[in-house]
Structure 1
Amino acid sequence: MGDQSRPMRAVAASVLLAVENGESLSQCLPPALQSLAPNERPVLQALCYGTCRWFHRLDSELNDRLKKPLKKPDRVIHHLMMVALFQLRFSQQANYAVLNESVEACRALDKPHLTGLVNGVLRSAEREGAPEPTTDASRFSHPVWMVKKLRHNWPDNWQQILEANNAQAPMTLRVNALRFSRDEYLALLNEAGIEATATRFAPYGIQLSHPVQVDQLPWFADGAVSVQDEAAQLCTTLLDLAPGQRILDACAAPGGKTCAILENQLELAEVVAIDESAARLPRVQENLDRLDLRASLLQADAANTEQWWDGQPFDRILLDVPCSASGVIRRHPDIKLLRRETDIVPLAAIQLGLLAAMWSVLKPGGRLLYATCSVFPQENHRIIQRFLKKQADAVLATPDVQWGCDMGAGRQLLPDPVSHDGFFYAVLEKPEL
């Protein structure tokens, strides 16, 4: 992706080109960060995340400023100018530095013939200031299809969802209840000079006023806390865990919920954590090791029960399905570039298939918790409605909770700019024989 001699903006432009070509930031950013000096890495990360967050607004402005689109081999220069526009519009960086260094980066990207274009476009952008957005897609900086879908699904909330997606997500911790009470850990943070408050809904959650590096958190390496959004923490409040149960976490990586389950109930008979991705399972083990917890890890497609199931049914199943991730865009702004409207129907088919497969390994008298980090009803309560129609022995439970909207078949949390992500939960119970 780059080397020590490449200017940071050139590296950022290359990362954004990779995202446009279908790679996630979590895939293409780490090697790019390694190519830079340690002091430059946070700046690169901020440039890439910020440009993705405001991509649709910046892209609209840039396209208006270009007389004609750049040819495909020169597309990286489009992204270079996007990075510069992001800095002109949303950062404290001095304008002259943005202009001069962008021209230098153009040369470093082997496009010296385009330095005049880069200079001219950015000078006029600086001189004229930001244009007034003319569409909802550019105003809220989201793809057109997503704005339309949210407006249709959430006629009273769509603007709040879009605004929350553009906010910086807070850093939230889950206290390991085996080690500390929440109040004890809040006191430790206070002693360390880290400002924090208890979360509203998650019983072990703490939200920091400002993000910090994890190594600054008291006893982090010894398993005192984990970083996990408040909405994701709610899974343990809905599973009704008790000693002696056998638990399945069906799509487990990176393991935050697996660990939360084990912290919540130490006397479980067994926790089995499955993930299809061999590359992501080591992350689950790392989290378990840091927290000194034990689970049985399997690499398998959870839907293909013949491949992995030992015939012993489970008392509780957490099914956190693959989804559009439309509820966590503020944490992963590249979703705006990567997700397509055509992804939703195939995802819904996978979700329904997983639900049917998991039902077959759930014990009579058992409970299944269906979860997504999506705000699209097609992946959420409509999946539950479809499943209940065809699965005669599935009963919808209605937990007595104070959070989210009751969708008739499950509860929806919308992203909140000052607290939790967007999340959906539904609790299904299988009657005793």
Structure 2
Amino acid sequence: TPEFAASALAALIETDHEIVAVYTQPDRKSGRGQKMTASAVKQLALANNLPVYQPLHFKASTDEGLAAQQELAALGADVMVVAAYGLILPQAVLDTPRYGCLNIHGSLLPRWRGAAPIQRAIATGDTETGVTIMKMAAGLDTGDMIFKTVCPITVEETSATLYDKLAIQGAEAICVVLESEQKLQQYLDAREVQDEQFTVYAHKLTKAEAQIDWTKSAVELDRNIRAFNPWPVAFTPIDETNNLRVWNSQISDLTANGKVPGTIIEMNKQGVHVLCGDAYNGQVAKPLTLRKYIRMSQIQSSAKNLNLRAQVVKTLLAVQNGQSLASVLNQHINIVSERDRGLYHELTLGCLRQWYSLKAITLPLLTKPLDNEALESCLYLGLYQILCTRIPAHAAISETVNAAKQLGFEPMSGLVNAILRRVSRETTEFQTALNNTHGLPSWLFKRLKKDWADLLPEICQNLKQVAPLTLRVNERQISRDEYLDILDEEQIDARPCTLSDVGIVLEQTGNITHLPGFEEGGFSVQDEHAQLCATLLPNLDDKVIIDACAAPGGKAAHILERFNPKKLIALDHDAKRLLRVSENLERLELNVDATVEIITADATTWVPKELVDCIVLDAPCSAIGVLRRHPDIRLLRQSTDIQQVVDLQKQILKHMWQQLKVGGTLLYITCSILKVENEQQMVEFFAEHADAEEIKIDANWGIEQIHGRQLLPEAHHGDGFYYCRIQKTA
């Protein structure tokens, strides 16, 4: 049911096995809003179009339990993988699959049977744990053991970090066991019975035991604090009504005697040093250091004292921690000197664009995983400079190693130096290896393989390239030929687009605002394939149009440049992004003659005063088609996001369709190349709307689909876009 199990499911999805069903607990209320939330396993299953079952139980004594057993048996599964399911499985269920049920258990059985094996292993001071694959029996974790992996427990391990490690090990282990039917049978034949004399039960955690008793030793308290992270979280009362939650700790290097346990004896950069009860047990009194629990806590240097590579690493870390590049880029780049901003920009975007390719060639160079996001970023940054830029190798290595030191990782800087020097000696071999990787997260690679098997190698390579910088000239002010002449006079290399009659590709980079005619509104920046939107619309003179999901305003501006509508309504839920629509229309001088309404509202509920003639719906999507321009999507987008965005698209489509006049046109657009958001979305839409008729797009670009046309990202040309033109017939 939880993330631990989702890791195993994700790994099994990548194999050639047929997953006939996914079972998980029913949706639960969670979060402050107590909204019904699907489990991590369910979200992953739905994103991969796997059937999901959520029975309340399997008790044969009830009609619903018996029905659940019969439903499971009807699937005819060869084997069932069980990981943190959370429901008791009766013997009838365990006997249903041909090879039985295999459980992924987070301990080295027979030690730590029960609900909390990971937490109890840390709290007790075990130096190692691991994963056991067992053939399930009726008792609690009593089944025969068929495969084990070992994982060391470090002195800084928390339940959160160990949970992640064992989730990965469990996923790898089950794939080993299920490598083939023959291998599975061999493991089952050699299975080992658990020795009951070594059994230890891992009782479920309670909030009460998370309260810190300062009379206990520093070692014991340190273990407990780390064991109770992330739940229930250790705490110590501040007064009668308030508690201080303690997420992390370490044994202090200070000593003190003659004070009451629980006394704060010092506060410094290491943290808050609190006296524990070692002295009561005849030992030297050792304080415990309570540490601030943030993922980047090692990085102490002031941003202004960091070199350029260290600045880039900090930006990469922000993305790794879930922040979009757009949300942090301006803040981070302002710290960088003016002359270095171009290089900062290139290194940041380049590393993100090549992230998974760099990861693929780095893993064989490591004897064990780094488990350190900052060092990982340093390595990828150094490799990117050596393999993908013209920066001299010695400079790239020196600056990157210094960055590692400045960020507080001097002990590990030797590793960074050694790996980068090896790659610099074998540049050709590593460049070949880099080029041969697909460069995508595995879930996305698998989806694209399913959707575009014949074109997959080309798509993967194109998504790793830099997207061209493309302009759209404002025809109300200047023609394309005239603007090309101006650029030529300014000695700016440019060429006309092949598909868009108003598009220009710049052959050199630079500050857009410094180009001739920018302030006067002579052009906008817009991808060539995005510029095709306005060419697919009917004559909109004197018509009322909704530009749904309008920000930042490229489509609205192009419509106003091309037509003279009666009214254009620019709709978006994000008020801040709508400001850009206003600013762009004002710079392009397009809000003078036309009636433009800019409205902040939800496209799933907003209703216009009257039905409209045309709706341009650039639907929210995964944005996989614009991965080149927004490379942080590689790290930020998750497989579980896809079904959520598909559901949102469907809601907006259904509601917007009701706002369209009979005879009106809806142009459905995404910047995705996933069929579930495009062709499949349209198949469902037409199946549910008898009053909708597709107006086929007769064009020499893109790939015709069941409905609509798909443009894929092309080297030196446009991004991935999908268009489908629909007319309301009744």
The partner residue of 1:6 within 291, 294, 306 is 306
* Partner secondary structure for residue 317 of structure 1: strand
In the alignment, what sits opposite 1:354?
Answer: 652
The answer as to whether partners of 2:678 and 2:722 remain within 8 angstroms in 1 is yes
CA contact (8 A) 1:56 1:138 kept: no
Report the counterpart of residue 324 of structure 2 in structure 1.
Answer: 24
Q: Report what 1:45 is aligned to.
A: 345
Q: Residues 231-270 of structure 1 correspond to what in structure 2 (within 5 A)? A: 231-265=529-563, 267-270=564-567
Measure the CA separation in 1 of the matches of 2:414 and 2:476.
Answer: 62
Q: What is the distance in 2 between the residues matched to 1:353 and 1:143?
A: 28
Residue 154 of structure 1, CA deviation: 1.1
Aligned position for 1:219: 517
Q: Given the alignment of the two structures, is residue 271 of structure 1 paired with residue 572 of structure 2, yes or no?
A: no
Q: 1:135 to 1:197 in 2, by over 3 A?
A: closer
Q: Residue 75 in 1 paired to residue 391 in 2? A: no
Per-residue deviation at 1:422? Answer: 0.9
The C-alpha deviation readout for 1:2-43, integer Å capped at 9, x for no partner, is: 633211111111111111122122122221101111111111
Which residue of structure 1 lines up, in the alignment, with residue 717 of structure 2?
Answer: 419
Looking at structure 2, the residues matched to 169 and 302 of structure 1 have their Cα atoms a distance apart, in angstroms, of 30
User: Which residue in 2 is equivalent to 1:286?
Assistant: 583
Is the Cα contact below 8 Å between 2:312 and 2:344 reproduced in 1?
yes
Say whether the 8 Å CA contact 1:150–1:158 is kept in structure 2.
yes
Structure 1 residues 369 and 83: CA distance shift in structure 2, 3 A: same
Q: How does 1:185-200 map to 2 (within 5 A)?
A: 185-200=483-498
Q: Is the 8 A contact 1:81 1:122 kept in 2?
A: yes
- Quick one: which amino acid aligns to residue 367 of structure 2? K
From 451, 458, 461, the counterpart of 1:163: 461
Higher strand share: 2
In structure 2, the residue matched to 1:298 is 599
Structure 2 distance, partners of 1:177, 1:385, is: 36
**Residue equivalent to 1:329:** 627
State the distance in 1 between where 2:463 and 2:495 align. 22
Q: Secondary structure at the match of 1:365?
A: strand
Cα deviation 1:47-103 (Å, max 9, x = unaligned): 1111111111211222222222234xx421221121111111111112222222222
Structure 1-normalised TM-score? 0.93
Question: How big is the shift at 1:292?
Answer: 1.2
Aligned length: 426
Q: Could you tell me which residue of structure 2 aligns to residue 154 of structure 1?
A: 452
Mapped to 1, the partners of 2:361 and 2:452 lie a distance apart of 28
Instruction: Give the AA of the match of 1:354.
Output: I
Deviation at 1:131, TM superposition (A): 5.2
Q: Once the 2 structures are TM-superposed, how far is the Cα of residue 46 of structure 1 from its aligned partner?
A: 0.7
Letter in 1 for 2:649: Q
Which residue of the partner structure matches residue 692 of structure 2?
Answer: 394
* Partner SS for 1:79: helix
> Conserved in 1, the CA contact under 8 Å of 2:569 and 2:597?
yes
Match of 1:15 among 310, 315, 336: 315
Structure-2 residue corresponding to 1:142: 440
Structure 1, unmatched stretches of 5+, are none
**Which structure 2 residues correspond to residues 173-188 of structure 1 after superposition, within 5 A?**
173-188=471-486
**Aligned-partner residue type, residue 300 of structure 1:** A
Instruction: For 1:77 and 1:424, locate their aligned partners in 2 and report how far apart those are by CA, in whole Å.
Output: 39
Structure 1 residues 197, 103: closer, same or farther in 2, change over 3 A?
closer
SS of structure 2 residue aligned to 1:280: helix
Deviation at 1:123, TM superposition (A): 2.5
Q: Which residue number in structure 2 is paired with residue 86 of structure 1?
A: 384
The answer to which structure has the higher helix fraction is 1
Q: In the alignment, which residue of structure 1 is the partner of 2:209? A: none
Cα distance change, pair 133–127 in 1 and its aligned pair in 2 (3 A): closer
Give yes or no for contact 2:697–2:709 (8 Å, CA) kept in 1.
no
| Distance change in 2, residues 1:128/1:182 (3 Å) | closer
Q: Which amino acid aligns with 2:597?
A: S
- 2:390 equivalent to 1:54: no
1:313 maps onto 2:611 in alignment: yes
Identical residues among aligned pairs (%): 38
CA distance in 2 between partners of 1:35 and 1:5 (Å): 10
* SS of corresponding position for 2:304: coil
Give the TM-score of the pair, scaled to structure 2.
0.56
Task: Give the aligned partner of residue 229 of structure 1.
Answer: 527
**Aligned-partner Cα distance in 1 for 2:579–2:704:** 36
Larger displacement relative to structure 2 (220-229 or 198-207): 198-207
Task: Give the Å deviation of 1:242.
Answer: 2.5
SS of 1:349's partner is helix
Amino acid at match of 2:413: T
Aligned counterparts of 1:136 and 1:125: Cα–Cα separation in 2: 11
User: Which stretches of structure 1, 4 residues or more, deviate above 3 A after TM superposition?
Assistant: 127-138
Structure with max Cα Rg: 2
- C-alpha offsets along residues 312-370 of structure 1, whole Å, 9 cap, x if unaligned? 11111000011111111111122221222222111111111111111011111110000
Q: What amino acid is aligned across from residue 280 of structure 1 in structure 2?
A: R
